[in-house]
Amino acid sequence: MSFNPENFVARKASEAVKALYGVDMDQSGFQVQVTRKEFEGDYTLVVFPLLKVSRTSPEATGNAIGAYMKENFAEIASYNVVKGFLNISFSTAYWNAVFSGIASTEDFGQHAPTGRTVMVEFSSPNTNKPLHLGHIRNNLLGWSVSRLLEANGHKVLKVNLVNDRGIHICKSMLAWLKKGNGETPESSGKKGDHLVGDYYVAFNNMYKEEVDRLVGEGMTKEEAEKAAPSLKEAQDMLRKWENGDRQVVELWKKMNGWVYEGFDKTYRDLGISFDRTYYESQTYLFGKALVQKGLDMGIFEKEADGSVWCDLTEDGLDRKLLLRGDGTSVYMTQDLGTAEQRFSEYHLDEHVYVVGNEQNYHFQVLKLILKKLGFAWADNIFHLSYGMVELPEGKMKSREGTVVDADDLIEKMYTTARETSMELGKLQDMTEEEQEKLFRMIGLGALKYFIIKVDPKKTMLFDPKESIDFNGNTGPFIQYTHARIKSILRRADASGIPYGAGSLVQDVQLSAKEIRIIKMLDQFPGRISEAGAAYSPALVANYAYDLAKEFNQYYHDTPILKETDPGLLSYRLTLIGKVAQVLVKAMSILGIELPERM
């Protein structure tokens, strides 16, 4: 377990204040933080809030508390005061004890089971096009948040809701009927989701030509967009689907089947899987009973045309449509119903929806309506709202076919990783199969890390070339660091040098850099907690980078295997071995593998 030095300093400072000034102060009232790098010390106590108790200057107060703590607590080796900040340094014996605990903890950073069950819904693609770069951010974020919540001790259910019905699906189907000539994934050699996506683009081109022709014949653009024959045919096809027309349903099943096979391959390539997949075609009628319940409770209103609404104007929002006049449901109806079903079926403690920030209003309304319906668990719904992914050349548009395709991007990352690795020329003793596995690992690690390291709430700019740099804040840099540590440990193993928790010598004199690494390792469980509370795997990603960077600086200055003191040599090997383990744990939360050799 991690010893919490911030709490230790606060507790001992509370004892000092009681002894020096006769005042009881709860330790929660003390501000303790990691000492900034430019100052000497491990942790810093902010003295200013204590001046009303000490009734002396900040410097005098800091020196009095520091002197008391150094004299009375063996763990504290020294202190210094800079204005109103008391910087405290722990003793080598203290850090040795801390690292002994870290080294002997098998799955360091993993929190104990909480008994809480959390569902995370992510991906949610449409079956009219392949996955693109925007979907990649959604999938990687959903996966890593799920892994992060698991690291915090929760039971996590990863679910996908596939949008497999609606007018956009019918557009692809109609274009295939008109222009496909029976083309299939087998006959074309195309991945199924790509084939269907091509026909979605084909429909849009056909539709634009019709609109332009109608405008040329004298219609306004708005009139032409509504009157275009292809749109009317797609709308008619949707009505037939909803009425169970056999031919339409069979075509829908066939083309969706092609897409699912394509999606499954992309998910496998990304290392993504789900515990359960829902389909909108099976859930879109969910919620109708809740609409009736809301009418019976008097919180929903039925208009003369039969449509049902919820008036949220008193809550600062607007009126929300829940059921159309013809009795058909809308997305909100479905989401109300699926939320009730999931909380009831799985007894969830929390439901996290990973959905782009353009849906912020939707989830605000969803929670509010569920609360009005009397569901106490509505407060346990969390919308993990994330920013869009943009490219150096601007935004992507699916219907115009200008998106960055997920499969193409994965392949490009592999190719770039291959080229970069071959240039470094350190793979001569690896088999071709081992090399191919390594290139995939590096390419995927670069892609995942570059996307996840950005705070989810921020819009991000994706640059494939920058992501695969072996230096700087990248996945390959962390992968290379791990491979370097494993290389050192293999050489130690070959020489028969013992290391590990059982071989630690407790009275080793540690360098400042070694203490720095131990301090960073000790912060890992806390960083997992912090990241989990914020639903931000970016905090774990950047922690891993900082730890890798710290190791590389240490390695540059410390010839580990040349150390002649057996106790110190064993200690250092144990230390860097734990760094490797923590990097593996941190990066596994991001869905990234670390190679043994690079």
Query: Domain spans of the chain?
Result: 5-90, 117-390, 412-589
The CA distance from 520 to 540, in Å, is: 12
Distance of CA 502 to the CA centre of its chain: 36
- Whether residue 232 is predicted with pLDDT greater than 50 in this model: the reply is yes
| pLDDT band at 428; cut points 50, 70, 90 | confident
Q: Please say if the pLDDT value at position 399 is more than 70.
A: no
pLDDT tens profile 14-56: 999 999 999 999 988 899 998 998 999 999 999 999 999 999 9
pLDDT digits (tens, 9 = 90+) for 490-504: 999 999 999 998 888
Q: What are 448-465's pLDDT values in tens digits?
A: 999 999 999 999 888 777
Q: Quote the pLDDT of residue 533.
A: 97
What pLDDT is recorded for position 1?
Answer: 40
What was the pLDDT predicted at 46?
97
Q: Rounded to the nearest 5 degrees, what angle is found at the Cα of 390, between the Cα atoms of 389 and 396?
A: 100
Class level of CATH domain 117-390 = alpha beta
The architecture (CATH level 2) of 412-589 comes to Orthogonal Bundle (1.10)
pTM of the model: 0.90
Give the DSSP H or E segment for 168: helix 167-179
pLDDT digit string (tens) for 511-537? 989 999 999 999 999 999 999 999 999
Contacts of 532 (CB under 8 A, 6+ apart): 148, 149, 151, 152
Residue 401 has pLDDT above 70, yes or no: no
Q: Share the mean pLDDT of the chain.
A: 93
Strands of 301-302's sheet in order across: 301-302, 308-311, 319-323
On whether the 5-90 domain is CATH 3.30.1490.100, my answer is: no
Q: 317 pLDDT exceeds 60?
A: yes
pLDDT of residue 402: 55
> Which tokens in the block code for residue 242?
């909803």
Report CA-CA distances (Å) from 380 to 103, 117, 292, 412, 552. Answer: 37, 11, 24, 40, 42
pLDDT for residue 157 is more than 50: yes
Distance CA 342, CA 276 (A): 11
